[in-house]
Chain A
Amino acid sequence: QKEVEQDPGPLSVPEGAIVSLNCTYSNSAFQYFMWYRQYSRKGPELLMYTYSSGNKEDGRFTAQVDKSSKYISLFIRDSQPSDSATYLCAMSSGNTGKLIFGQGTTLQVKP
């Protein structure tokens, strides 16, 4: 079983929809939770990060962490075609600097 599980999709939604992306994990030592966005044929870029449990909001994006359930989510409100990309969750215990990535979910937002 992988340490981090993420549904690879693909996920296709109409413009303006609310998108929910999720990851589960098994290592209770993870403290830092991140979402990276990767456009086609590009390197990943950090979108949001959260330390420990709770919510964090940045514009149309909200990241949630539920450590008791070992479950993290990324919500995208009013989705736009420019949001079409692969979204990768990543986690770290903070001790080694290494990140463990999920498989990535490919999102397409149709105009």
Chain B
Amino acid sequence: QVQLQQSGAELVKPGSSVKMSCKASGYTFTTYYIYWIKQRPGQGLEWIGRIGPGSGDTNYNEKFKGKATFTVDKSSSTAYMQLSSLTPEDTSVYYCASGAVALDYWGQGVMVTVSS
């Protein structure tokens, strides 16, 4: 079955960067886009963007351009998202998702806490 396994929680300082991973299994990694979604504590969902694992092509929500960078490692079926110049407003759970239809399958999320 399709699984997306994300890396663990991060506590980072303001101004720093963080890189999280999303390892896919149960399907051919290059078949579907990997999407990234942000959820602030107790809040709704925001679409950050997507990356095509086969081609490496990316599509970012304008709001997150310069903040988020997507990469993939096809050899390990893993997608990565790096967030830079972190501020307390970046404190959120970050999900990866994938699928043929919409955001069919979701990872368990990575809690990123930005605090000095």
A and B found bound together: no
List residues of chain B with CB under 8 Å of any chain A CB: none
The chain A residues found within 8 Å of chain B, CB to CB, are: none
